[in-house]
Chains A and B, each alone.
Chain A
Amino acid sequence: MNAKVQILDKIHDIPTLPTIYTTVSKAMEEPYITNEKIAEIISADQSSSFKILRIANSPFFGFRGKVDTISKAILYLGHNEVKNILLTVSLLKIMPGSKILSALKPVDLWAHSISVGVIARIIGGAIGDKKIENYFLAGVLHDIGKLLFIEYMNKEYAEVLDIAQKNKIEISAVEADKLGITHAELGAKLAEKWKLPRIIINTLRNHHKGISDLISQESPVAAVYIGDIVSRLLSLGYSGDPIIKKPVSSVWRKLSLPVNFFTNNRKKIVLEYEHIFKMLMINR
């Protein structure tokens, strides 16, 4: 059995999303549901509620200190935003970290992923995308395929990382060559299994190309692509990749960011990353 078949087979064993998330997202689809009812469902899970409130109060959302109940969080931030924070919190709880590779530790990979989420969201805000709530989640999830490789193909993946490191080439290229599937494709497959929004699946699949198959979903793809590069340049967490590639020029045209965007936002990026990382990782 080759590696690709083997890992895709393993995806079936991966835990489904926590009931709290599936219950909440189903409830949100009901036409006559009230915010109070949704708040009630979320509040039943104390540790998730507490984390949602802490994140909702971070500088990121601009409601600092004012969000003291889950129903307020829903009112101020909106359904999708709360749903995506809940998913992030739940994922950090269920995603395995049982296996470690000395070349790439899950905690460093999460740190990298969270920073990409933060940067992608700041970019999304700067370009004025109305579906801003997808940027953070897409960034946090972009490397989830690597986590699956670490967990389910530990030995083979150690070898992949080693080859990439020694030859100074991108991990994706080695993955495609040795395992027959990249972490981008694997992550997208998992997101499909979890029935996450199409825009998230598409971003996971294309985060290394920087361009999307669907024109309407190009912005989050470009934002996560650049977020990945920014995170590496600032050494926030570690992605396992030995190189930092030069961005493809089409991404700049797509985003058309303001002058000196990165130097002006550097402090904000680092502070918000540290804040959110602390919120999410402590007492996991």
Chain B
Amino acid sequence: MSEIISIDEIKNGTVLAEDIRNKYGQLLISAETVLNEKHVRLLKTWGISVISIVVNGKEKVMITEVEKEQKKKELLKEIGWEVDNQFEEDLINMAVEHKLEQIKFYERKSSNT
């Protein structure tokens, strides 16, 4: 899994997920490099502000069925739909999982800093 972050968020041990190239296509830092302060300076020099980093699987957020049901009710109320078929059910489930994952992600982020 990878995640896109701002270079200000680089911490010790952050691992790059994809090659970084400058605007001429030259390789600056290759994927899987463990980033340090020198790399951050290099990125700043080239005006690169966001990078894609590796996210460990163990940090994956857990979402319970109860939370899903609750969020689903909220969402349906907000958009004013009644679910009529399996496709709409699927659409709503997709949105619910996404929203919950984002909420948990930000909660974890703010508790880390």
Quick check: A262 and B93 within 8 Å, CB to CB? yes
* Contacts A266-B97, A270-B98, A274-B4; A257 near B87 (Cβ below 8 A): yes
Contact of A283 among B23, B52, B92, B93 (CB under 8 A): B23
Interface: B85 (CB within 8 A): yes
How far in angstroms is the closest Cβ of chain B from A177? Answer: 21
Task: Give the complex CA separation of A257 and B87 in angstroms.
Answer: 8
Q: Which residues of A contact B95 (CB under 8 A)?
A: 233-234
Q: Which residues of B contact A234 (CB under 8 A)?
A: 94-95, 98
Task: Give the complex CA separation of A252 and B90 in angstroms.
Answer: 12
Interface: B61 (CB within 8 A): no
Quick check: B91 and A262 within 8 Å, CB to CB? yes
Task: Give the complex CA separation of A282 and B21 in angstroms.
Answer: 12
Contact of A230 among B2, B25, B91 (CB under 8 A): B91
Interface: A261 (CB within 8 A): yes
Interface: B79 (CB within 8 A): yes
The residue on B at minimum CB distance from A247 is B88
Q: Which residues of A contact B85 (CB under 8 A)?
A: 249, 252
Q: Which residue of A230, A243, A244, A270 has the most chain B CB atoms within 10 A of its CB atom?
A: A244
* Contacts A270-B98, A278-B4, A278-B50; A50 near B25 (Cβ below 8 A): yes
* Contacts A230-B91, A244-B79, A278-B50; A259 near B97 (Cβ below 8 A): no
* Number of residues on chain A facing chain B (CB within 8 A): 27
Quick check: A261 and B90 within 8 Å, CB to CB? yes
Q: Mark A136-153, 1 if CB is under 8 A from B, else 0.
A: 000000000000000000
| Interface residue ranges of B61-107 to A (CB < 8 Å) | 79-82, 84-88, 90-95, 97-98
Contact of A260 among B48, B79, B90 (CB under 8 A): B90
Task: Give the complex CA separation of A244 and B81 in angstroms.
Answer: 9
Q: Which residues of A contact B98 (CB under 8 A)?
A: 233-234, 266, 270
Contact of A53 among B2, B25, B48 (CB under 8 A): B25
Q: Mark A253-265, 1 if CB is under 8 A from B, else 0.
A: 0000101111100
How far in angstroms is the closest Cβ of chain A from B69? Answer: 15
Quick check: B94 and A263 within 8 Å, CB to CB? yes
12 contacts between A and B (CB under 8 A): A50-B25, A243-B79, A244-B79, A246-B79, A246-B81, A247-B91, A249-B85, A252-B85, A262-B87, A262-B93, A263-B90, A266-B97
Interface residues of B (CB under 8 A from A): 2, 4, 23-25, 47-48, 50, 52, 79-82, 84-88, 90-95, 97-98
The list of the 10 closest CB pairs from A to B, nearest first, reads A233-B95, A262-B94, A246-B81, A262-B90, A252-B87, A244-B79, A266-B94, A263-B94, A263-B93, A234-B98
